[in-house]
Structure 1
Amino acid sequence: MAEQTALADMRSDGVGRPDAAVVRDALGVGIAVGLSGFAFGVTSAGSGLTLPQTCALSLLVFTGASQFALVGALAAGGNPLTAAAGAFFLGVRNAFYGLRLSQTLALPRAVRPFAAQWIIDETTAVSLAQPTRRNARLGFTVTGLSLYVLWNLTTLLGALGAEALGDTDAWGLDAAGPAVFLALLAPMLRTTTERAVAGLAVVLGLGLLPVLPAGVPVLVAALAAPAVLCLQGLRRRGAAGDDPQEEVR
């Protein structure tokens, strides 16, 4: 409790960064990630979704990983319910981001339902990197607004371009979505645990792809995280059992 109080004091009373610096960083993230909406538009149109359906996903769902997972499963011939389940589980992490940001941003109750639409990886990262609450709110707002506008605009352009090109497979554009997804994911894998989870998820997803219906391997790959954490816990218990000093403590 004391740590949370200290954090709240620092957020509200600490020495903040200049607004221009926060806006610059937030715009950099918003523009860099927002441009990848073009790849989603192409991938979604190539999977058979109509232009309104593609744009509705970006407007209403607005979480890239879930959107790519949904259209990827549909493109592979997966059941819509299975595809939606995979997208849902990927999007659950945003609820945990919301719990953390509710303390950091401390937004008025009337604003929270609207701000919830912008709680994604990028806005969370920018907000939590700020030293004060004012900076965090500014970073969240600029990142969310720039990313939301640009993501939806490039989604529309990508979908229109895919319709104009016709068969996206003939142009190799069906690989655009997975490529962008991996490009966004790779820099986030900083620890050994994160790399182990990602590696096991890839093994499960690709290994089960030939034997399970489309969309199901994605759900099974989600078990990689608890499996790795469980193995780490067992290893630590074993190490503690072998260490007499650990037993004394």
Structure 2
Amino acid sequence: MLLSKLYTNANASSKRDPIKKALLEQVEKKKKAIAMSPEKQKEAYYSSIRFANKRLPLHKHTVETKFERYLATFSYRKQQSYALHAKAAKHLPKIATILKSYGIPEDFKYIPLIESDMNPQITSHRGAGGYWQFMPATARLYGLKVGAGLDERKDLVKSTHAAARYLKSLYGEFNDWTLVAAAYNIGGGSLKAAIRRQGTSDYYKLRLNQETGSYVYKLASMKQVIENPNKHGYKRYAKLDDKYQNINEQNLL
């Protein structure tokens, strides 16, 4: 109550004292300038970044450096194209709906953008194919027909249902969505072996092959570029509000 009275008195006296009022306005202006500085903007933005509802440990220098590398790779400056956003707008809503029906976090919808660039005709040198880049054996295991002139890995809806079943199975093994993403890339058995050998189940501490070690970073970066187009140089989408700004901008003030 005493502090309240003092603050009220200070406000009242500042109205009577134009010099004091000007000083208070300067203090408020300085506080706002600090809050809106590039450093604070970056800090607030990075604190908002999640993958599968789990915050990325961007306070660690090695994690921040690696994340920024892939964020730059997917930025407009590097891509010089709006193809990513066009493909996302066309396919991701349908993928997200299917994943949700299985209880899979929405962020996994970015896998086909990373794996196949949403091109079902792509086949890897190892034989992985379709939107989700399934190996033939894994595709069959999760209900897809592959062979005899038919390849359901190229069917977006059917392959997404299969991917959702596979992801759910991996979650049953690892009970951690970040590890599920890594296991999707390297395989559950190989990831378990790495965890057992290295004595840690922290993805960001595990020493994995380059592709798997960068997989979650790529997914998280792709998510940021798609959800915050204006922030990452995709000015054609400037009329859309970036998700980060909607959620966090006022917290900076």
TM band (smaller chain):
under 0.3
Larger-Rg structure: 2
TM-score (norm 2): 0.23
Q: Which has the higher helix share?
A: 1
TM-score (norm 1): 0.23
Q: Which has the higher contact order (CA 8 A, sep 6+)?
A: 1
